Amino acid sequence: MKLVYFGMVIAALQVNYGITTAQAQPDDAAVSIVFVGDIMLAETPGKVVRSGRDPFAPIAPILDSADIRVGNLECVVAGNGTPEPGKPYTFRAHPRTLSVLKRHFDALVLANNHSGDYGPVAFGQMLDLLDQHGLGYFGGGRTLAQAHKPLIIERKGLRIAFLGYDEFFPRSFEADVDKAGIAWSEDEQVQYDIRHARTNDHADLVIPVMHWGVEHERTASIRQRQLARIMIEAGADAVIGGHPHVTQDVEQYQGKPIIYSLGNFLFDGFSSDDNNTGWILKMELNHAGVIGWRVISTHIDHQGVPHPQVGIDDACWSEGQHKLVACK
């Protein structure tokens, strides 16, 4: 097992949102994807949207630089439902936030511990609203089967399957045969879903996005490491995670990247620097899999709005490289 930690500080980092990658074949053009961590559009970020501001604006050039833009929607977006009794934090964003999300994202992962905060009826309304806005989603659905169905996004002839799973309680948010909800992470089911995405949905690449880990822990848990390996052995081309509210370490396993936690992206109410730092992950892929990736650090201001943060911890990897290096 080779762990790759990085904590390098780069005094004068040149900002370059591209990735240097191995030579791609002309008939196998690279597709770029950006992933961001938790997006919470209730509370103060919701007020920012209500005032007519776009909280994604400072980050928009980075998001727009990719062919596919994906984020974790850490709230329900609905006008109905009631807060889950006894749950300490419940987040419901106004439907007006969807046009802002649509401007910046192609797909949202719903498998997390807040999308069910206002019950299955509100969750179902969110699915209707996402459909109406033409926003893709995965890791959640109107039924259990839908929640486990991959979202396929095709760019430049490359079919990429996205799967999403939560394993942080409450499990009551899980979909059922007749109930809208999220996909829960059970190892055998996850392995099946990954294989099925290739055989049934004819995906060229499969990327599971996880909601897992221990909150405020900077290092991935044994469970995260085990499951990441299981997923890659089942055929995942990369594993991407979130939920701990901080960024965690990263690994390359069998040549495939594991980014355990992207941290918070758009979220208010945290006072520590760790919680107010997030990563945008930018990956380049072709039919062979991930051929390069880098992270871009972001900092969240007092309103929960992310901004690019220059000069710390930004790491790059490209095909053939044995360890991470500072981005140039």
| Site for Zn ion contains 113 (CB under 5 A) | yes
CB-based contacts of 55, cutoff 8 Å, min separation 6 = 41, 45, 48, 49, 100, 266, 303, 304, 305, 306
Positions in 154-173 near Zn ion (CB under 5 A)? none
| Site for Zn ion contains 243 (CB under 5 A) | yes
Measured from the CB atom, is 69 or 243 closer to Zn ion? 243
The DSSP string of 9-25 is B-TTPPP--S---PPPP
Measured from the CB atom, is 229 or 243 closer to Zn ion? 243
Q: Give the interface segment with Zn ion, choosing from 146-154, 243-251, 289-297, 308-316 (CB under 5 A).
A: 243-251
| Site for Zn ion contains 115 (CB under 5 A) | no
Q: Give the interface segment with Zn ion, choosing from 40-48, 109-117, 153-161, 192-200 (CB under 5 A).
A: 109-117
Minimum CB distance to Zn ion, residue 76 (Å): 13
Beta strands in 276-321, from DSSP E residues, in sequence order: 277-286, 289-300, 306-308, 315-318
Contacts 24+ apart (CB under 8 A), 87-93: 87/117, 87/170, 89/114, 89/117, 90/114, 90/117, 90/118, 91/40, 91/41, 91/42, 91/43, 91/117, 92/42, 92/117, 92/118, 92/122, 93/40, 93/41, 93/42, 93/46
Measured from the CB atom, is 150 or 244 closer to Zn ion? 244
Q: Give the interface segment with Zn ion, choosing from 147-155, 182-190, 216-224, 235-243 (CB under 5 A).
A: 235-243
| Site for Zn ion contains 148 (CB under 5 A) | no
Measured from the CB atom, is 97 or 112 closer to Zn ion? 112
Q: Give the interface segment with Zn ion, choosing from 108-116, 123-131, 145-153, 278-286 (CB under 5 A).
A: 108-116
Minimum CB distance to Zn ion, residue 185 (Å): 13
Minimum CB distance to Zn ion, residue 23 (Å): 39
Minimum CB distance to Zn ion, residue 284 (Å): 28
Measured distance CA(185)–CA(139) in Å, rounded: 10
Measured distance CA(259)–CA(252) in Å, rounded: 9
Q: Which residues bind Zn ion (CB under 5 A)?
A: 112-113, 243
